[in-house]
Structure 1
Amino acid sequence: MPSDATDSFIHIARRNQLVECAIEVIAEDGLAQASTVRIARRAKVSRGVLTYHFHDRAELLDQVITRVYDLGVEFIQPLMAETESPRDALRVFLSGSVSLYAAYPQHLAALTEIFAGERGRDNAQRHRQEESDLAEILRAGQDQGQFRQFDVAVMCETIRRALDGALKHVSGGGAAEPYAAELVTIFDAATRSEGTHGS
């Protein structure tokens, strides 16, 4: 392997390690306490190594956000790819989201801390994209007659708020599977058309 390729691999691996350490520190100690010094100490490197890979703390926080969103895509997208209808896709989106919260509690805790703090407004676009994907599922279901006619924007916001509640429940130690099953039941009933029955 050429040395430049090796250097690139090592560089990426180190950046990923620092992002994961930042996630741990933010989740455990809070955003305000997640200084570059503390994150570097968690990674067992000097602060200079951290600032070599990230221009400043803001860039590191942006990479934390990107990592968590990428993780969500990696976790849920394969499940979504196996669905055969918008109704199934909505069910999988709901149950998969709650399973993600349970599988990666530190990552979601860090994301919540960041959005509640200084970087929240800067990343509104990411929320809009997620809602756009959900809206696409809902509109497809309406077009195919699987979902009743409702205001898609209102339903998206309602689902998002329900998932925020699921995250709080799971983060507090609550069981994920029963909660996910109940959300699926609630929104399946809330969205399906009168002519849609069965599983």
Structure 2
Amino acid sequence: MRSKNGAGGRVSFIQAARRRQIIAAAIETVTAVGYGQASLARIAEHADISKSVISYHFANKDDLLEQVVVQVIDDWAAFMKPYLDAETTSAGRLAAYIRSRIAYMRDNQTRLVAVAEIIVNHRAPDGKPVFAERDAVPVADLVATLRAGQQAGEFRAFDPIVLAMTITQAIDGALTYWAEHPGTDLAAYGDELVTLFGLATEKTRGKP
């Protein structure tokens, strides 16, 4: 975070609040007009500030949109953490993982639609997706939960990477389906996924 002086906590607090305001405006602008049309000028207009204010806090549009993704993913992980930490079994953590991810979706649709737009469209100068590695982090955490369940004898033998990717795609699909069918009961959707993947990981009696 930039700071023009060392005035301490109040300046930092004001700057942090301004950055949150700009990030919120960027999210709403990307959702409204799409990634390609979300210029700094449009974001500034939406936030009712000058473009120079954005330039003070962010190096450029790429920096701002990258910070949108970073903040939302970090917030999502922070939201899920207490639900995961409350579970003492891998089966419980798997259920909490699914339900808490979907609960965050329910309360943050606009943010996640914007993040999906940015992740799909944002490219480095060489053309590679900027967020390819970061987007894999939640999958790695889920793989670890599935492996722990196998090692503890809770889950049957399966490829944890394949199943983790399948679970992630199923959860992410809920956001797309919900956008197209706003009346969808996301809690029930999540419960159905918990049942489905509970059966998929279940250790059949007498078999490994």
Asked whether the two chains share a fold, i.e. TM above 0.5, the reply is yes
| Deviations 1:23-63, CA, capped at 9 Å, x for gaps | 11111221111110010111111001111111100000110
Letter of the aligned partner of 1:190 in structure 2? Answer: A
Matched to 1:149, the amino acid is A
Q: State the Cα RMSD in Å.
A: 1.5
Report deviation, 1:105. 0.2
Secondary structure at the aligned position of 1:136 is classed as helix
How many residues end up aligned between the 2 structures? Answer: 195
State the one-letter code of the partner of 2:106: A
Which residue of the other structure, out of 170, 173, 198, is the alignment partner of 1:162? 170
TM-score, length-normalised on structure 2? 0.89
User: Is 2:192 the counterpart of 1:188?
Assistant: no
Identity of matched residues, %: 34
Amino acid at match of 1:79: Y
Letter in 2 for 1:184: V
TM-aligned CA deviation for residue 195 of structure 1: 4.1
The Cα shift of 1:142 comes to 0.2
Matched, 1:70 2:74: yes
Does residue 29 of structure 2 align to residue 21 of structure 1?
A: no
Q: Which amino acid aligns with 1:83?
A: E
Q: 2:86 aligns with which of 72, 82, 85?
A: 82
SS at match of 2:87: coil
Alignment-mate amino acid for residue 33 of structure 2: D
What is the one-letter code of the residue matched to 1:82? A
What does residue range 55-66 of structure 1 map to in structure 2 within 5 Å?
Answer: 55-66=59-70
Does residue 153 (structure 1) correspond to residue 179 (structure 2)? The answer is no
Q: Render the CA deviation track for 1:156-191: whole Å, top value 9, x for unaligned.
A: 111111112111122231220111111000000001
Q: Which moved more, 1:153-162 or 1:111-120?
A: 111-120
3-state SS, counterpart of residue 136 of structure 2: helix
Unaligned 5+ segments in structure 2 are 1-5
> 172-181 or 117-126: which moved more?
117-126
Which residue is equivalent to 2:51? 47
CA distance in 1, matches of 2:96, 2:113: 22
Tell me the equivalent position of 1:177: 187
* Larger relative contact order, structure 1 or 2 (CA cutoff 8 Å, min sep 6): 1
Q: Does the CA-based 8 Å contact 1:24-1:106 persist in structure 2?
A: yes
Trace 1:113-124 onto structure 2 (pairs within 5 A): 113-119=117-123, 121-124=129-132
Corresponding residue for residue 126 of structure 1 = 134
More displaced stretch, 181-190 vs 8-17? 8-17
1:72/1:100 contact within 8 Å kept:
yes
Partner SS, residue 8 of structure 2: helix
User: Are the aligned partners of 1:102 and 1:171 in contact in 2 as well (CA < 8 Å)?
Assistant: no
Q: Deviation string for 1:119-143 (max 9, x for gaps)?
A: 4711111122111100010000000
How far residue 14 of structure 1 moved from its aligned partner, in angstroms, is 0.5
Provide TM-score, normalisation by structure 1. 0.93
